[in-house]
Structure 1
Amino acid sequence: MQTLPKSRLLQFVEQAFHLAQRAVARYSSKFSKRRYTLHQHIVLLCLKVRKNTTYRTLLDELIEMPRIRRAINLDELPSPSTLCKAFNRLDMAVWRVLLNLSVTLLPTNGVVGIDASRFDRSRASIHYTKRTKLTIQQLKVTLLVDTRESAILDLHVTTTRKHDSQIAPSLIKRNAEKIATLLGDKGYDDQKIRALARDLDVRPLIKHREFSSLQKAWNARLDSDLYGQRSQSETVNSRLKRKYGVFVRSRRWWKQFRELALACLVHNLD
């Protein structure tokens, strides 16, 4: 019988398993029951986001996926509550490490766009919330995206209405070695951001708000071909929502932050 080629799903699982082995120890502590490894938990959580499904549905589908189970040495399926508890235990720092490792798998060119988008914190429809006059707070998610392969370098998530110019500095400082040119729209028009970027040897290519003819002239002198690559950031924001959902499923803010970091990791692996 002819051996079947590897599917994209199997390749995704193998890559996620490899990253998990590099990022974390095999077990969470010496007191672990050692029934399942942290590597298996991470892969299953990534698989849940990629398929945009629930814990119960994912485990039901895994029954018919022997090649996927063999790839991660999974002899026995965990319960949905086991995966849920594993997600609670894995800190945001772990997902950031995995996200950084996933970037190393992709070619980058240092031309990085920064852009923000909003994710809903509830599944209630906009029509319903307007009719009942409900106010459902959204999460503001700011992404740093390399324009070559649309790799997400880093993210910032907040529940407040913090302005873009207040969020950008921390992202730039954390990722200065990965950025050669920073592309931003007029929301990031701040001389402090430009000064910080130049101090870190980053070229800021940010549009000015046009209050005078001088600022219009500065905008006209921008490298239009290079600045046009900023649209990759908007494309990635749109892709995250289309593939993995426009809302977060978790109810607590710290789990919502981890859920979005996990979605960025899955985007890079996928």
Structure 2
Amino acid sequence: MVYHHYPKLGVVCDTSDHFILAFRADRGPRPDVDEFRPLVSDALTPVRVSLMSADAGYDSEPNHRFAREEHCIRTIIPPKHGRPTDKPATGHYLRLMQTRFDREAYRNRVQVETVMSMIKRRQGSHVRGRSYWSQCRDLRLMALTHNIMILLPRWVFYRAGRESFQIKGSRRLSFP
């Protein structure tokens, strides 16, 4: 079997305004589960997060424990990782996801797919870089450009009488 490597972008975004709070550029195929901690740590630098939804690739007991116990973030990750079974999960948070999964709160996770679609529609669905480092650089630039495209209209059209605005109500950004 031959594996084809492809550029891979992992993001944490605000579901209300599609602003990317943290991103990691890498090359796939590889599991998502080990990207969770760095992404959460990077996202907590500019803002405070109280609820985080993620897809099943990030599901693991250490990831739940990291977010919930160390950072007080309620995680909603579907318990579908691994082989299907009817047995209850062994970890406390994995069992919690099996028994009390909040489908209503998880529905906001589709906004991440919207962000990825916005990036692909506005900037293209491929990167030009050939090497690993140039592909990662291209992905980082795409994420930053996406954020600028969100912030620029707010700065241009909503600046009358205001010198700053808030994102998620926790950190104030000022513009000249």
**TM-score with structure 1 length normalisation?**
0.46
* Contact 1:176 1:202 survives alignment (8 Å): no
Q: Which residue of structure 1 aligns with residue 79 of structure 2?
A: 208
CA distance in 2, matches of 1:263, 1:193: 27
**How do residues 178-217 of structure 1 correspond to structure 2 at under 5 angstroms?**
178=47, 179-198=49-68, 199-209=70-80, 211-212=85-86, 214=88
CA distance in 2, matches of 1:174, 1:217: 26
Shift in CA distance, 197/181, structure 1 to aligned 2, threshold 3 Å: same
* Contact 2:53 2:76 survives alignment (8 Å): yes
User: Identity across aligned pairs (percent)?
Assistant: 28
Name the structure with the higher helix share. Answer: 1
Please list every run of 5 or more consecutive structure 1 residues that lacks an aligned counterpart in the other structure: 1-133
Counterpart amino acid of residue 175 in structure 1: A
Larger radius of gyration: 1
Please list every run of 5 or more consecutive structure 2 residues that lacks an aligned counterpart in the other structure: 90-94, 150-176
Runs ≥4 in structure 1, deviation > 3 angstroms?
Answer: 213-220
Q: Which residue of structure 2 aligns with residue 145 of structure 1?
A: 13
Q: Shift in Å at residue 213 of structure 1?
A: 6.1
Q: Which secondary structure does the structure 2 equivalent of 1:169 belong to?
A: helix
| Residue of 118, 127, 138 corresponding to 1:248 | 127
Q: Shift in Å at residue 193 of structure 1?
A: 0.1
1:54-92 Cα shifts (integer Å, max 9, x gaps) = xxxxxxxxxxxxxxxxxxxxxxxxxxxxxxxxxxxxxxx
Shift in CA distance, 137/160, structure 1 to aligned 2, threshold 3 Å: closer
**TM-score with structure 2 length normalisation?**
0.68
Equivalenced residue count is 137
Q: Shift in Å at residue 152 of structure 1?
A: 0.8
Q: Which residue of structure 1 aligns with residue 152 of structure 2?
A: none
1:102-151 Cα shifts (integer Å, max 9, x gaps) = xxxxxxxxxxxxxxxxxxxxxxxxxxxxxxxx975211211111101011
| Residue of 225, 250, 261 corresponding to 2:104 | 225
* Contact 1:244 1:263 survives alignment (8 Å): yes
Q: Which residue of structure 1 aligns with residue 92 of structure 2?
A: none
1:197-238 Cα shifts (integer Å, max 9, x gaps) = 011121111111252264698446322222100000111112
